[in-house]
Amino acid sequence: MGDKEKADPGAEFASDSSWTLGADSDSVYFFSNDRDSSILSEFGWNFHPDEVNRTSEREQFGDLDGIGGDERSSSDLAGSLGLPESSSSGLVSSFPTAAPVGSTSNNPSVSSSSSEDPPEKSADSGGKPPPAEIPNKVRKKGQKRIRQPRFAFVTKSEVDHLEDGYRWRKYGQKAVKNSPFPRSYYRCTNSKCMVKKRVERSSEDPTTVITTYEGQHCHHTVGFPRGGVISHDAAFAGQLNNPVVSQFYYPTIQLPRESPPLTTMTHSRRAPREAEETTRILQEPTSDQLPDEGLLGDIVPPGMRSV
């Protein structure tokens, strides 16, 4: 696959993504050292910034302005997010710095908008687990849709559905304007988890997959139907091994110099055809190969954190 890097991933994302990145400026995250952990925890992952080696993606994505001033902090996020599922195809991870979600700016990067903090998990308010936002039918008129922080990742991958350690259920697909590729909507299969993610392929660069996460996991990674349980670390490591370049807008996490193999796993019962074709056999990585032991695996329930 092309290893070429995206010249301007952000721009692409901005144009393709309908998620008004930064549209709601008030909800945009401005990464700062202090906020690193907060942001990460926002997704249910605990990150220890200090342990993460930061690379100089900045150079690479210099045009992506960092969020508010200190982009470095964003690096952790990527790892926490469980990363775009590229594990099957692999990616060279280069986590770009987080971009400000200023829709007005050229910063394409990711958008994270946390307009209103994640609603209390009203987990079971009825039968189905409520989505991140109040269901239309339940939502009262005038009640604004609540959006959770969103983080987008640009990944060079041939497969759309990448593994990230969590199980996802597809609940919708939409055609993307000005793009031949549809956008898929996924929800975490955990009934109590309201995390959602959107996966779409860049129209400009078909080899680029844009994954946007919204919400925070309130549980650990799950086991896979086949392949056993996988940890975030494993998933993360595996992705790093991939030959694809993944650009994570938010985090600027540092990748291990070497990507340890990771056992490929598939969440969905039906493995994507592409995945089967491009999947590489990976092996579970050792802790020292990972960016940081426990860095990715340390997950904390959303409710535990204080933002």
CB of 24 to DNA, least distance (A): 7
d(CA 217, CA 74): 18
Judged by CB under 7 A, does residue 192 bind DNA? Answer: no
CB of 150 to DNA, least distance (A): 9
The H-or-E segment that residue 150 falls in is strand 150-156
Residue 291 token pair: 């960016």
What SS3 class is residue 134?
A: coil
Judged by CB under 7 A, does residue 196 bind DNA? Answer: yes
DSSP secondary structure, 33-67, as one string: HHHHHHHHHHTTB---GGGSPP--HHHHTTTSPPG
CB of 85 to DNA, least distance (A): 11
Is residue 292 within 8 A of residue 52, CB to CB? The reply is yes
CB of 15 to DNA, least distance (A): 10
- What Å distances lie between residue 227 and 8, 178, 224, CA to CA? 36, 38, 6
- Pick the piece of the chain touching DNA (CB under 7 A) from 30-38, 83-91, 136-144, 289-297: 136-144
- Pick the piece of the chain touching DNA (CB under 7 A) from 92-100, 184-192, 239-247, 296-304: 184-192
For residue 127, how many other CB atoms are within 10 A of its CB?
6
d(CA 6, CA 281): 26
Q: Are strands 150-156 and 168-175 parallel, antiparallel or unpaired?
A: unpaired
Site string for DNA, 161-180 (x = CB under 7 A): x-----xxxxxxxxxxx---
CB of 275 to DNA, least distance (A): 11
For residue 188, how many other CB atoms are within 10 A of its CB?
25
CB of 161 to DNA, least distance (A): 7
Judged by CB under 7 A, does residue 185 bind DNA? Answer: yes
Site string for DNA, 104-133 (x = CB under 7 A): ------------------------x-xxxx
Contact footprint for DNA (CB under 7 A):
18-19, 23, 128, 130-133, 135-137, 139, 141, 143-145, 161, 167-177, 183-185, 187, 189, 196, 198, 268-270
